[in-house]
Amino acid sequence: MMGANKAKAALGKKAPNFTLPAASGGNVSLKDYLGRKVVLFFYPKDLTTACTTEACDFRDAMPDFTEQGAVLLGISIDDVATHERFIAKYELPYELLADTDHKACELYGVWQLKKLYGREYMGLVRSTFLIDEKGKLVREWRNLRVKGHVDNVLQAVRGE
């Protein structure tokens, strides 16, 4: 499903392509969006407090992103059925992609060792990437806090 391109994400370089199952049906590849700005946001889990806040913040700012010609793509390791419930419950107007084998997460360096209550485990670290119309990675926000994040991304999309 991932193809031969195993290049890791790096600022100023071409964003690694991936193909993942979409909640709307079928598969979505990053290369499908060449010619448009893409806001690619990785989040840990559907229907959890911080992820719901982030998803709804992106939802509420969707008209502003659309006005700037940007596409929003959300990725977590949840499956398509869970994404469908998340979209339905919160009326999310953008595509959610299922990276159940965390291949795209690994390409973008967001699948990392995490610690919680003294327990170590591998997990998805909340991160966002801005990809320009030529497919180049131009901004990244790693291990971010949700509060104010969508505003920061929108400013970057606007070139501010």
pLDDT at position 148, please?
Answer: 93
pLDDT at position 14, please?
Answer: 95
pLDDT at position 2, please?
Answer: 41
pLDDT at position 4, please?
Answer: 41
pLDDT at position 11, please?
Answer: 84
Question: Which residue shows structure tokens 């107007």?
Answer: 93
Which amino acid is located at 67 in the chain? E
Active-site amino acid positions:
51
Name, in order, each residue with C-beta under 8 angstroms of 13's C-beta and a sequence gap of 6 or more: 7, 136, 137
Cα radius of gyration rounded to whole Å, the chain: 15
pTM to 2 decimal places: 0.92
Locate the DSSP E strands across the chain: 19-21, 27-29, 37-42, 70-76, 95-98, 111-116, 119-124, 127-131, 137-142
pLDDT at position 95, please?
Answer: 97
Which amino acid is located at 71 in the chain? V
pLDDT at position 3, please?
Answer: 40
Residue 128 — φ and ψ, nearest 5°? -135, 145
pLDDT at position 8, please?
Answer: 84
pLDDT at position 6, please?
Answer: 55
CA distance 93 to 56: 10
Question: Which residue shows structure tokens 């606007």?
Answer: 158
pLDDT at position 9, please?
Answer: 85
**Residues 36, 141, 85, 56, CA torsion sign:** negative
Provide the angle, in degrees to the nearest 10, between the axes of the packed helices 49-67 and 80-90: 70
One digit per residue, the tens of pLDDT, for the chain of length 160 reads: 344 445 688 888 999 999 999 999 999 999 999 999 999 999 999 999 999 999 999 999 999 999 999 999 999 999 999 999 999 999 999 999 999 999 999 999 999 998 888 999 899 999 999 999 999 999 999 988 899 999 999 999 999 8
pLDDT at position 115, please?
Answer: 87
